[in-house]
Amino acid sequence: MNDTLFSELVNSIEEAGKIRSGKIAASRRTVLNEPDVLAIREKYEMTQQAFSALLGISIGTLRNWEQGRRKPQGPAKVLLRIAEKRPNAILESLV
């Protein structure tokens, strides 16, 4: 690593420390909203049973998500985002 890159890395780490401690504000912040599982399912016009089968999850898990008792995590959250933005991608992948 050359001196310029090393210096940039050190500056970046120092800046991250200042942001974390609240001494400076972050220049940008990305916030991802939780997927609205009920709205996504309704867009597909599917029952809870059919939609849970489509996603490969239990109907109980789907109900917990829709009723706000639990939130989708990891791959399930990604799959729901794809289902929301590209409904045909999910349906076509099953054919």
What's the mean pLDDT in 1-24?
91
What's the mean pLDDT in 36-48?
96
52 and 88, same domain (yes or no): yes
pLDDT number for residue 66 = 97
* Per-residue pLDDT tens digits for 54-91: 999 999 999 999 999 999 999 999 999 999 999 888 88
52 and 82, same domain (yes or no): yes
Q: Which domain holds residue 8?
A: 1-29
Spell out the residues 6+ positions from residue 94 whose beta carbon is closer than 8 angstroms to its own.
Answer: 54
Confidence category of residue 12, pLDDT binned at 50, 70, 90: very high
57 and 88, same domain (yes or no): yes
**pTM for this predicted structure:** 0.67
| Total domains in the fold of the chain | 2
18 and 41, same domain (yes or no): no
Distance from CA of residue 4 to its chain's centroid?
A: 35
42 and 87, same domain (yes or no): yes
The pLDDT of residue 94 is above 80: no
